[in-house]
Structure 1
Amino acid sequence: MAGIIRLFRCAFILLVVDSAMVNLRVFAALQSFIANEIVTDVIPVAPDAVANVLYPSGVEVNEGNVLTPTQVKDRPTVTWEADPDAYYTVAMVDPDVPSRVNRSQGEWQHWIVGNFPGNGEDCGETLSEYVGAGPPAGSGFHRYVFLVYEQPCLLTFDEPRLNNTSMANRPLFSITRFAEKYNLGDPIAGNFFQAEYDDYVPILFAQLGA
């Protein structure tokens, strides 16, 4: 976790040294969440800052850029400007299930980690193990949304713990209802990418028992 702590500290230094650049990026983040209808489809209010999301494959999430399921199959590193005395919840959801024009099964819960300490001393509590993007063939582009919430305190979650070998309890999720249940407020940071079907998707579906 030392690397993440260093990233937090660097982010804080950048905010102090070049606040104008940060203000521009915050404004752009707000607009990207609105322009891509993540506000209304997923959350009521856009986050105030961009969360940095980097995958082991080397690709980085950048406010709606197009990535492939192959590139995002492994759990990413997510960093943001954190209060060392606070706890956070990080989530990834897909509202476009089975497709963006028919979101009858969305949101699909891809990943949730709660009680993540801002000081980076441990990895938090995994509620849903990470499952990468798996848009079905012919369903077009899906939006994959990362959200970071600052918790009011260390929480006791009564959610079922989900592994990455089953689809059970993942469809028909709502991150907004989840946030309301645990009094998380609006997300403080976020990011998202888009992806459509590639040859990794059947492998993922087999992993999930589909």
Structure 2
Amino acid sequence: MSFSNLLMKNSINGSLRSTQSAALLLLNVSTRQGHTLRGKPPGVARTLEQRLQDENVTDPEIVARINIGFPQLKPSRSAQLKERLEHLKAQRASKELEQLARVNKLLIDLDKVQESYVQRTGQHDLRLLADHYGIFEHLFGSAYFVPRVPLTIRYELNADTLSPVYNGNVIKPSEASKAPLVSFDGQLDPVTGKAAQGDSYWTLLATNPDAHYTNPAAECLHWFIANIPNGKIVEGEVLADYLPPFPPRGLGYQRMVFVLYKQESRLDLSSHKLDAKDYNNLEKRTFSTLDFYRQHQDELTPAGLAFYQTNWDESLTSFYHNVLQLKEPIYEYDFPKPYLADQKFFPLKQAFNLYMDKHRDIKEINKEYLQRKLAKTHPFEGPEKPLRFPNAHPLRDVPSWLKTEIRKRRLGTGRVQDY
């Protein structure tokens, strides 16, 4: 090879190497000189999204939560202080309260305390509890609201007993088999907290974000009443009849959420109406609170909230068969077999009988204990009477592991109770 050809080959190879290195640089090479790059590769432009991911930066305008509820108009600080001082002055000037306090007969009206709590901080606490249970996240995404209209929901257990819904308490399906009694102040202005002028219309929705079988992101619609005039539930337009909760066996607790919306005027929501023949059709009851609110957010605003938890009980067996006309689902956890180390020739500091039983067939152990129990059980008189003073009978010339076994058998403790 001549000198000119060698020089041309070297120049071509050099240009190829430079081209390859530039291409690798543009392709975000993750290694450089044998070292893994830990940040932005040199000379490569990164997009804003990639830089946010690399630097773990979050934009506050994107992740900030949105309040979609009504604002609250609070009185001035001076007005609140003046009202508080007037109340204290009236209490101190009351001779009757002083006399009752001196003889320890002063009673507190708990109904007034509850009413004052609900008006002042109760609804704010309800919002914090709903956040804790993930209500807003699973219903409205990144939005939330502070309930401004107290919503009272009670299930009628019998003629004299009512089970209230409050702050995520537990209500069994047998207790929630009938539609609850719902009441709220339909004339209340959610902003000012005072009586509103003219007629007002409301919408009540009850959904379960944990009950959908085929789509985990969807909800099951349990109750839908629209155009409720002035808080009168019985005069509202029922778009979906009440369906009791039906949490399957083995899945734990589910959440039942009631959301009350304040309408700007009477609305036509007939597109959401569920036919009577589809009452037990769970697919037709597929619902999304977020999509519903996005569709009608100009005409209604969330104003009230209540929720409770429920889990399986025996009443759901007949409910699945007779109402839903489905085979009752049962979920069980498949526990893995416990780890068992290799058997040792001399197991130290372990009970001999218990250690040996770990490496035996469980069916043989059950059979052995059952035979031992039946051997001391008379067919007509029953099992032997236990010793009056079990620990008063000495055990001599018996190994320690067997002594412990006999003592447990006399006292009726240990695994002998399982058979």
Structure 2 length as normaliser, TM-score? 0.43
Taking the aligned partners of 1:147 and 1:136, their CA distance within structure 2 comes to 24
1:108 equivalenced with 2:220 (yes/no) = yes
Taking the aligned partners of 2:233 and 2:315, their CA distance within structure 1 comes to 34
Aligned residue among 76, 87, 100 for 2:201? 87
Tell me by how many angstroms 1:35 deviates.
0.8
SS in 1 for 2:227: strand
Conserved? CA contact 1:26–1:48, under 8 Å:
yes
Taking the aligned partners of 1:60 and 1:121, their CA distance within structure 2 comes to 17
Distance 1:65 1:119, change over 3 A: closer
Taking the aligned partners of 2:294 and 2:246, their CA distance within structure 1 comes to 27
How big is each residue's C-alpha offset from its partner over 1:119-157, in whole Å with a ceiling of 9 and x where there is no partner? 528521111100111001111100100010011211111
1:118 equivalenced with 2:230 (yes/no) = yes
Distance 1:148 1:193, change over 3 A: same
Structure 1 unaligned spans of 5+: 1-13
User: Aligned letter for 1:209?
Assistant: Q
Total equivalences in the alignment: 193
Taking the aligned partners of 1:119 and 1:36, their CA distance within structure 2 comes to 27
User: Aligned letter for 2:206?
Assistant: M
Match of 1:3 in 2: none
Q: Which moved more, 1:86-95 or 1:117-126?
A: 117-126
Tell me by how many angstroms 1:105 deviates.
5.7
Match of 2:323 in 1: 207
How big is each residue's C-alpha offset from its partner over 1:45-66, in whole Å with a ceiling of 9 and x where there is no partner? 1342441101121211011001
SS in 2 for 1:145: strand
Aligned residue among 279, 290, 300 for 1:176? 290
Q: CA RMSD in A?
A: 2.5
Taking the aligned partners of 2:145 and 2:215, their CA distance within structure 1 comes to 20
Tell me by how many angstroms 1:180 deviates.
2.4
Taking the aligned partners of 1:103 and 1:39, their CA distance within structure 2 comes to 19
Aligned residue among 274, 282, 287 for 1:167? 282
SS in 2 for 1:187: strand
Structure 1 length as normaliser, TM-score? 0.82
Conserved? CA contact 2:183–2:233, under 8 Å:
no
Q: Structure 1 or 2: larger helix share?
A: 2
Tell me by how many angstroms 1:162 deviates.
4.1
* Higher-Rg member (1/2): 2
Match of 2:144 in 1: 45
User: Aligned letter for 1:67?
Assistant: I
User: Aligned ranges for residues 60-71 of structure 1 at < 5 Å?
Assistant: 60-71=164-175
Taking the aligned partners of 2:229 and 2:137, their CA distance within structure 1 comes to 29
Match of 1:146 in 2: 258
Taking the aligned partners of 1:146 and 1:128, their CA distance within structure 2 comes to 14
Taking the aligned partners of 2:115 and 2:225, their CA distance within structure 1 comes to 31
Match of 2:76 in 1: none
Taking the aligned partners of 1:136 and 1:169, their CA distance within structure 2 comes to 19
SS in 2 for 1:116: strand
Match of 2:365 in 1: none
User: Aligned letter for 2:208?
Assistant: D
Q: Structure 1 or 2: larger strand share?
A: 1
User: Aligned ranges for residues 124-135 of structure 1 at < 5 Å?
Assistant: 124-135=236-247
Conserved? CA contact 1:46–1:187, under 8 Å:
yes
What is the percentage of aligned positions where both structures have the same residue? 22
Taking the aligned partners of 1:21 and 1:89, their CA distance within structure 2 comes to 21
Taking the aligned partners of 1:116 and 1:130, their CA distance within structure 2 comes to 16
User: Aligned letter for 1:45?
Assistant: Y
Q: Which runs of at least 4 in structure 1 moved beyond 6 Å after TM superposition?
A: none
Tell me by how many angstroms 1:106 deviates.
3.1
Taking the aligned partners of 2:186 and 2:308, their CA distance within structure 1 comes to 22
SS in 2 for 1:131: coil
Match of 1:33 in 2: 130
Q: Which moved more, 1:144-153 or 1:37-46?
A: 37-46
Taking the aligned partners of 2:118 and 2:231, their CA distance within structure 1 comes to 25
Distance 1:71 1:152, change over 3 A: same
Distance 1:80 1:68, change over 3 A: same
Tell me by how many angstroms 1:18 deviates.
5.7
Taking the aligned partners of 1:78 and 1:88, their CA distance within structure 2 comes to 13
User: Aligned letter for 2:323?
Assistant: Q
Distance 1:128 1:121, change over 3 A: closer
Query: Which one scores higher on RCO, CA 8 angstroms, separation ≥ 6?
Result: 1
